Amino acid sequence: MRARQFAICDSDSRYLKMLQAYLQKRNLADFEILIFDAVSKAMEASLEKPFELLLIGEDIYDTDVINIKASKTYILQEDGLKGITEYSMIAKYQSMESMIAQVLEEFASDDCCNSVERRGRNPTALISFYSPDRHRGQSAAALSAAQVLADQGCQVLYMSLIPFTGFETLMKTSYESDVTDFLYFVLNHADKLLYKLDSLKRSVHGVDYLPPALDYADLLEIGREDWQRVMDLLLYSSDYTHVVIDLSETCQGFYDMLENSDHVYILTDRSNMYAHAMLSHFKRLLQAKEYDKILGHMTEFELPQGWEEQCGEVELLAASPVGARMKGVLRL
């Protein structure tokens, strides 16, 4: 399938190059990024192949813009003095992350914007992390493993299904939408999965991630079959080499997720009698339910002593003692 074209037209060459670099780094699915410093150049290029998305600066706007062929056009608003009413407006001077998220969110939700189902360019491995005793180190281990994989050149998506992640505090950010918005959207618009993913995803240390749920009860509302459908679509359609799941029982497809994982990493603490007892209980349950496949690709591991004091910035987990331990656990 030929890449769709995401065009940006503006007279500010520095802004154009910065936005182009950001979009290329963000690696939007199936979009080729084009930049133009004149309306006439954008119009000529669109005659050969219409743009899927067009962002055009308010300062460069003129009446010839109507002749540029594009499925969706946005005006990059600066002062609003031109009084343009024919197209959607979006603030030019805001964070590029917020601006592109808004554009892609509207694009994904617009019924007039065509979409196609596609197969990912890479075989995608599903890796699950779980701790029967709900050890607080589970998320640190899962995210460290994701960063270690990214450092090895892998394309990684991290998804947390933990009830209370604390990510807004840890990442020093805020989220307007989260993983539940992604799940519900995909269940109704499977063919636009990648566009919704691109609109929501954030990145830390080369790892893409979906903002975790604010209310874990929203995750509990998603049925087992729906979990299976979303995961199948994600693994089939995306270009990730690895999807890392930070798993908990909030997922009604909990056992299915474990069974469908290429590998399951179980965090425990053998020095703690309660943690050891909970792990034994979990393994006995898997045996009783005859989940031999889960038991067969399950690896137990522990974190180094005092890891909490040595793990500062979330962005640097791969270089922390937890990251060093995960390199050994992943055998990289």
Q: Kindly report the CATH number assigned to the domain that includes residue 229.
A: 3.40.50.300
Other C-beta atoms closer than 10 Å to the C-beta of 119 total 10
For residue 139, the Cα-to-chain-centroid distance in whole angstroms is 16
What integer pLDDT is reported at residue 332 of this predicted model?
63
Q: What is the Cβ-side half-sphere exposure of residue 169, based on CA atoms within 13 angstroms?
A: 5
Single out the residue in 76, 109, 142 at which a domain terminates: 109
Task: Flag whether 75 is in a domain.
Answer: yes
Which has more pLDDT, 302 or 270? 302
Whether residues 102 and 165 fall in one domain: no
- Whether residue 164 has pLDDT greater than 90: yes
Is the domain of 254 the same as that of 305? yes
* Cβ partners under 8 Å of residue 152, min gap 6: 332
pLDDT, tens only, 35-59? 999 999 999 999 999 999 999 999 8
Residues 208 and 313 in one domain: yes
pTM of the model as a whole: 0.84
The answer to the question of residue 204 being in a domain is yes
The percentage of residues in the chain with a pLDDT greater than 70, rounded to a whole number, is 95
In the chain, the N- to C-terminal Cα span, in Å, equals 34
Cβ–Cβ < 8 Å for 227, 251: yes
Same domain, 53 and 173: no
> 176 and 283: one domain?
yes
Domain final position from 60, 82, 109? 109
Residue 116 lies in a domain: no
Confidence of residue 118 (pLDDT cuts 50, 70, 90): low
pLDDT band at 1; cut points 50, 70, 90: very low
Has residue 297 been placed in a domain?
A: yes
User: Has residue 45 been placed in a domain?
Assistant: yes
- Cα distance between residue 97 and residue 175, in whole Å: 12
Domains contained in the chain, number: 2
| Whether residues 88 and 174 fall in one domain | no
The CATH number given to whatever domain includes residue 40 is 3.40.50.10850
User: Are 231 and 191 contained in the same domain?
Assistant: yes
Strand order of the sheet with strand 298-301?
202-204, 207-209, 156-160, 242-246, 125-130, 263-267, 298-301
Domain check: are 76 and 146 in the same one?
no
Q: Do 168 and 273 share a domain, yes or no?
A: yes
Q: Which domain holds residue 85?
A: 4-109
Q: What is the mean pLDDT of the chain?
A: 90
Position 238 pLDDT exceeds 90: no
List the single range of 15-19, 85-89, 130-134, 230-234 with lowest mean pLDDT.
Answer: 85-89
Is 307 among the domain residues?
Answer: yes
- Domain for residue 261, yes or no? yes
Query: What per-residue confidence (pLDDT) applies to 293?
Result: 95
Which of residues 109, 144, 168 is at a domain's end? 109
> 108 or 6: which carries more pLDDT confidence?
6
Instruction: Tell me the per-residue pLDDT of 296-317, one tens digit each, with 9 for 90 and over.
Output: 999 999 999 888 887 778 999 9
Is pLDDT above 70 for 320? yes
For residue 229, report the phi and psi dihedrals to the nearest 5 degrees.
Answer: -65, -45
Query: How do residues 169-227 score in pLDDT, each as one tens digit?
Result: 999 999 989 999 999 999 988 888 888 898 899 999 999 999 999 999 999 999 999 99
**Tens digits of residue pLDDT in 76-102:** 998 876 778 888 899 998 888 888 888
> Do 172 and 234 share a structural domain?
yes
What average pLDDT score do residues 110-123 get? 66
Question: Can you give the pLDDT at residue 146?
Answer: 98
Residue 136 lies in a domain: yes
- In this structure, the answer to whether residues 182 and 253 fall within a common structural domain is yes
> Do 177 and 248 lie in a common domain?
yes
